[in-house]
């Protein structure tokens, strides 16, 4: 990985390990819908580190990859083996703030503890039939400490190009209808009670943000 370009390696050496402690159960469907997650890459995030090549290999350590199918995907594993970390990684890469995960604003705590580890990297590949490559990559780098007083400890990238936080979130919202703080889209385990506490108009707002935008012809009809 080239430092600073926000791009994790595009190809993994192996498929997802379905024999380990965390299993990704998939149910195949013929096509991906726009905005569907195709792949998640994680490096040094919370409990996850990176893959280590064998002693005789010349390959550099690589991120951990999780591949998804077009239909329902279920991540299963024993308690304490990182299922919530995967969901947190998806939410953060979709533009969530740390406080949404009930972690205050201390982003450095999201970086895996260990000697020489100064950052965590997350990348989501979303299906995008409108893009020439058929997908859009959103990446977020979280530093344990800010580089300097003017630089926050988060960097954002879309297809490898650096973006400001508001640009990053706007692209997700406008093109894919992804609003990370919407509890109907991201319902974390410790936020379930918050969903039931929403008022009716707040639930309506969540629902409206979740559905795809109507086609231009239909919008013109409403305007008339």
Q: What was the pLDDT predicted at 31?
A: 84
Q: Is residue 2 part of a domain?
A: no
Question: Which position has the token pair 């590949």?
Answer: 125
Q: Which domain holds residue 105?
A: 23-181
Same domain, 202 and 92: no
Distance CA 137, CA 84 (A): 22
Q: Which of 4-18, 150-164, 199-213 has the lowest mean pLDDT?
A: 4-18
Q: What was the pLDDT predicted at 224?
A: 40
Q: Is residue 95 part of a domain?
A: yes
Question: Which tens digits make up the pLDDT trace of 175-205?
Answer: 888 887 777 777 777 777 777 787 887 777 7
Q: What was the pLDDT predicted at 28?
A: 53
Whether the predicted pLDDT of 42 surpasses 60: yes
Mean of pLDDT over the chain: 77
Q: Is residue 200 part of a domain?
A: yes
Same domain, 110 and 161: yes
Q: Which of 24-33, 80-89, 172-181 has the lowest mean pLDDT?
A: 24-33
Residue with the bigger pLDDT between 140 and 219: it is 140
Residue 171 · residue 158 · CB < 8 Å: yes
Q: Is residue 6 part of a domain?
A: no
Same domain, 203 and 101: no
Q: What was the pLDDT predicted at 186?
A: 74
35: exposed, middle or buried (C-beta count within 10 Å: 0-12, 13-18, 19+)? middle
Q: Is residue 17 part of a domain?
A: no
Residue 157 backbone phi and psi in degrees, to 5: -140, 140
Residue with the bigger pLDDT between 116 and 3: it is 116
Query: CA Rg, the chain, in Å?
Result: 18
Query: What pTM was estimated for this model as a whole?
Result: 0.74
Q: What was the pLDDT predicted at 15?
A: 42
Same domain, 192 and 218: yes
Same domain, 162 and 79: yes
Question: Which tens digits make up the pLDDT trace of 120-175?
Answer: 999 999 999 999 999 999 999 999 886 655 556 899 999 999 999 999 999 998 88
Same domain, 160 and 192: no
Same domain, 174 and 74: yes
**Percentage of the chain with pLDDT > 70?**
71
Whether the predicted pLDDT of 112 surpasses 70: yes
Same domain, 30 and 42: yes
Give the domain CATH number at 51: 3.40.50.300
Q: Which residues of 169-190 are buried (b: 16+ CB within 10 A; e: fewer)?
A: bebbbebbbbbbbbbbebebee
Cα dihedral sign, 83-84-86-90: positive
Same domain, 93 and 112: yes
How many structural domains compose the chain?
2
């Amino acid at each position: 990985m080239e430092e600073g370009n926000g791009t994790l390696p595009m190809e993994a050496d192996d498929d997802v390990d379905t024999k380990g402690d965390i299993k990704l159960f998939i149910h195949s469907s013929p096509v991906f819908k726009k905005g569907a997650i195709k792949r998640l890459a994680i490096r040094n995030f919370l409990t996850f580190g990176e893959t280590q090549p064998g002693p005789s290999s010349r390959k550099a350590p690589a991120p951990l990859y999780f591949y998804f199918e077009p239909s329902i995907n279920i991540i299963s594993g024993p308690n304490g083996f990182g299922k919530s970390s995967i969901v947190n990684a998806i939410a953060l890469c979709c533009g969530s703030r740390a406080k949404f995960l009930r972690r205050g604003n201390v982003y450095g705590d999201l970086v895996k503890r260990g000697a020489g580890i100064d950052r965590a990297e997350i990348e989501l590949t979303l299906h995008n039939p409108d893009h020439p490559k058929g997908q859009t990559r959103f990446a977020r780098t979280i530093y344990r400490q800010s580089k300097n007083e003017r630089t926050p400890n988060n960097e954002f990238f879309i297809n490898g190009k650096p973006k400001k936080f508001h640009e990053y979130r706007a692209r997700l919202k406008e093109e894919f209808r992804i609003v990370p703080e919407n509890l109907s889209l991201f319902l974390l385990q410790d936020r379930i009670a918050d969903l039931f506490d929403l008022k009716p108009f707040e639930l309506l707002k969540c629902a409206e943000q979740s559905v795809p935008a109507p086609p231009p012809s239909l919008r013109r009809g409403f305007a008339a």
